C-alpha cells in the first residue's frame, strides 16, 4: 500500500521503516497516525495525523511534512542562502551561486531537497547540472515549495 511513498523517498536515498498499520489511506491521500488515534478514528474522516502526500495520475505528490521527515535523514539536499530561499518559496529555481553546500547525490537528474540556513526543508527539486562542475546558471529546478500554502489559498 505504501509503495508510492517508499519509491518516492528512495529517489533521495532515504528510507523509512514505518509500521504499515499506522498508515491510513483516504481516497488518494496517505496519512501517518499513532496507535491511539487509530482507536479513535471513524471511517468518514477527512484528514488525520500527519499528511504524507497523495497519488494523482499514478504520480506521488509528497506533503511538506514528509519532505521534512526525509530531510532529517542522510539524503540528497542543498543548503541555500537567504535570497535563494526566498526566491525558491516564490516558485523560482535555485541558481548555482545560491547553493551554500550540498550533500548526497549531486549529479544531473537527481532529486534533491532544498533547505534554508536553519536546515528547514523548503521543498524539493531536480538537479539540472553537475553541482561540483557547474560554474553558474540554474542548478536546481523547483518542483514543489512551501509557498504552495499561499498559492492554494488563492486558487
Residues that bind other proteins (CB under 8 A): 34, 36-37, 40-42, 44-51, 63-65, 68, 85-86, 89, 116, 118, 120, 122, 146-147, 149-150, 152-153
Neighbour tally for 8: CB within 10 Å = 23
Contact 146, 89 (CB under 8 A): yes
Give the Cα separation of 19 and 87 in Å (integer). Answer: 37
Nearer to other proteins, 63 or 75 (CB): 63
Q: Residue 13 to residues 9, 85, 142: CA-CA distances in angstroms?
A: 7, 23, 19
Q: How far is the CB of 74 from other proteins (least distance, A)?
A: 22
Of the candidates 73, 74, 57, 70, the residue with the CA atom closest to the CA atom of residue 5: 70
Residue with cell 499514478: 58
Sign of torsion over alpha carbons 40, 41, 42, 46: positive
- Shortest distance, CB of residue 132 to other proteins, whole angstroms? 27
- In whole angstroms, the minimum distance from the beta carbon of 122 to other proteins comes to 7
Nearer to other proteins (CB atom), residue 37 or residue 55: 37
If the CB atoms of residues 20 and 46 are measured against other proteins, the closer one turns out to be 46
- Closer to other proteins by CB, 132 or 155: give it: 155
Amino acid at each position: 500500500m505504501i509503495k508510492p511513498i517508499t519509491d518516492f523517498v528512495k529517489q533521495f536515498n532515504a528510507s523509512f521503516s514505518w509500521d504499515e498499520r499506522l498508515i491510513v489511506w483516504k481516497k488518494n491521500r496517505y496519512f501517518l497516525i499513532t496507535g491511539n488515534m487509530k482507536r479513535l478514528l471513524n471511517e468518514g474522516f477527512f484528514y488525520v495525523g500527519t499528511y504524507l502526500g497523495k497519488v494523482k495520475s499514478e504520480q506521488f505528490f509528497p506533503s511538506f511534512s514528509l519532505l521534512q521527515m526525509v530531510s532529517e535523514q542522510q539524503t540528497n539536499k542543498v543548503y541555500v542562502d537567504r535570497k535563494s530561499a526566498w526566491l525558491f518559496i516564490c516558485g523560482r529555481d535555485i541558481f548555482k551561486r545560491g547553493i551554500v553546500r550540498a550533500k548526497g547525490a549531486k549529479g544531473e537528474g537527481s532529486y534533491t531537497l532544498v533547505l534554508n540556513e536553519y536546515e528547514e526543508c523548503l521543498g524539493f527539486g531536480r538537479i539540472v547540472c553537475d553541482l561540483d562542475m557547474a560554474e553558474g546558471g540554474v542548478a536546481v529546478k523547483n518542483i514543489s515549495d512551501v509557498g504552495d500554502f499561499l498559492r492554494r489559498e488563492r486558487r
